Amino acid sequence: MSKYLIVMIGPTAIGKTALSIKIANYFNTEILSADSRQFYKEMFIGTAVPSPEELHNAQHHFIQHISIHDKYTVGDFEKDAIECLKTIFIKHNVAVMVGGSGLYIDAVTKGLDSFPEIDPKVRLELNIELEQKGLSALANKLKTLDPQAYDIIEIDNPHRVIRALEVTIGSSQPYSDFLNNPKPKRNFEIIKIGLTAERPIIYNRINERVDQMMNSGLLNEAKLLLPHKHLNALNTVGYKELFAYLEGETDLEFAISEIKKNTRRFAKRQLTWFRKDDSIEWFDYKTDTNIILEFIKSKINE
């Protein structure tokens, strides 16, 4: 019998976690997280890690499994996730993967793109430029050199921006040109389910989630992580804004509004990434779970 990976996709705060658990329970199987922010054991509130009850309701993989001090690339995740799926498929015909990190989902479902070797000096120079001029200067450079890459990568992630720029500059060819090469064929079938809503609803859910995070102790979590703010894992929405507040650069009200604004921008980029994938079957976030399950079963029985 064929093996199936059901992939739950959608913008942040849309309800992917709850639905993925229902689907995993229906098929009596396990869940792989493809949310790169949830990999780190030191980060809990700001990354919306599933609650202890949710983790108890279904077996999860790649939730808080590494440290912010560890080097862990999308290539590492691809290799680990494929090995994890091999183990799951010994016991089950279906597995579930859920997350909003498009690059990490594509790594598992499509395989990674291959890039040419780049002179390390290019990255060194870009890192110096990052320190001297800031991320916005590098992002604008990428927008000029490769607007297609600018539209699809996490533009507030310095690692992603520098990677796109170093390939573009070092190869004299746009980073985005390397994203359409043939990929390895997976030995399992893939069913992609997307959850969405009208943009005002998505934005309102994001604002409410940020308020919930603050009420749950996100500021205290940021205080504990402040000594490590230089780490790439912590240069992310929800933490960097509070670091600025804790260092006296802004007031708390402004920091919270920046978290909401930057999270809304992140959701917009997520949707831009996912909308390019015609294989995703989209459902409104309020759709009854049974309707989505019927769709999945119809794809399995084709």
- Which residues are within 8 A (CB) of 270 and not within 5 positions of it... i.e. 6 or more apart? 10, 11, 12, 100, 102
Q: Are 7 and 192 in contact, with CB atoms under 8 Å apart?
A: yes
What DSSP assignment string belongs to 258-278?
A: HHHHHHHHHHHHHHHHHHT-T
Annotated binding site for ATP: which residue ranges? 10-17
Annotated binding site: which residue ranges? 10-17
Tokens of 93: 């015909």
Give the CA count within 13 Å in the CB-facing half-sphere of 18: 10
Q: How does strand 94-98 pair with strand 4-9?
A: parallel
Q: Are 35 and 47 in contact, with CB atoms under 8 Å apart?
A: yes
31-33: strand order across its sheet: 60-61, 31-33, 94-98, 4-9, 189-196, 280-284
Type of residue numbered 26 = Y
Tokens 């499994």 locate to 65
Give the 3-state secondary structure of residue 26. Answer: helix
Annotated binding site for substrate: which residue ranges? 12-17
Q: Which residues pair with 302 in a beta bridge?
A: none
C-alpha to C-alpha distances, 30 to 83, 88, 184, 214, 290, nearest whole angstrom:
14, 7, 24, 30, 19
